[in-house]
Structure 1
Amino acid sequence: MQAHTVTTPFQRCQLPPEGRKLRKDFEEKFKNIDPSKEEADELYDALVALGLPWFTRKKHTNWLEKWRKKRGKAQQKEAKADSVYRNLSDWLSHIPDPTWSMMKQWAESLHVGMPELMMYMCQINEQHNNIMLDIMEGSHSHEQAAVNNVPPLMLEPEGNLVHNAPQPIPYDTQLYEENIYHQW
């Protein structure tokens, strides 16, 4: 067993690396389910076996309470993110090119800020593009795309994908620069 240094009254007592590893393994094991009292007691017994004179049942109980709160908040945040992603994906399947005011309404309805909404839209767009590439390569079917809320596409006779959105107008830099210089 490793010798632990004596702490002064003003120095914070910390678990040694072995204790932190035990807690980390405990957190991973019970990421999605609640541990029983016996399982929490097993962790306490393992930590006490490290020979830490300052480690008490109260410190262990306080850590468990904080961990449960932190885990609960993380689960709520994850559930909210899933809900936002599902709703936004559904809305985008019906309205693939929303206006700015519509996106603001969506953000208010989902209780997220515009930057967060834009992040979700980018993720959905990336997923959509990956599925479209898979369809073009033949490794993903249109039925699978429908399950993933991908907006329907039109296929040209040659088999090329055509999106419902208009194609961007080519940008002519020379013409733009000439117009700028003529204004000055």
Structure 2
Amino acid sequence: MLRARELFGEQAGLVTGAVFAVSAPAALSGRLKLTAWAKRTLSGPRAIVYGLVVMGAAFLPLLTQSYGVVAGVGALTLCAALLAWGGALLYPFEMDTVVRLSGDRLVATHYGAYDTASGIAISLGNLAVGALFDTGVRWLPWAALTATGMFCAGSVAWLHRAGHLTPKPVPVPVQG
């Protein structure tokens, strides 16, 4: 909405509605196919990495400062669609990873802790991006969001390679 307001002023609400009217059906139609493809061809951690890369790349079209109406609406629509497609790659595998890492013990507790940590990170991220908007450097928030997505993708890839996303076997007590 902020980028739409920069580009279209008073028409931002109408443009934002049009963007979601166009991108939502595209995202919904591709979501099931994309998630099914990822389940067939990618490991969970790799799907999460790809999802984060796509979500980070979603903000690249917003870096350009000068748009005509059609290009501006296209950039916003592409951003919304890429965020939805990245989410389709990420979210099913994110939940599965929490369950696997819990060792099938106290799954709700593990997911609650994950959800709480995510909520805190999202709140802090929103504050940081808001502060970046306040700098007046118009490209900075979009560059920071892109970099954040790429950093998170790299971090998940590193955690996977280091074996931290593979559940450790739970020792079974020996009865004697």
Q: TM-score, normalised by structure 1?
A: 0.27
Structure number with the bigger relative contact order (C-alpha 8 A, sep ≥ 6) is 2
Q: Say which structure is richer in helix.
A: 2
**Structure possessing the higher radius of gyration over alpha carbons:** 1
Q: TM-score, normalised by structure 2?
A: 0.28
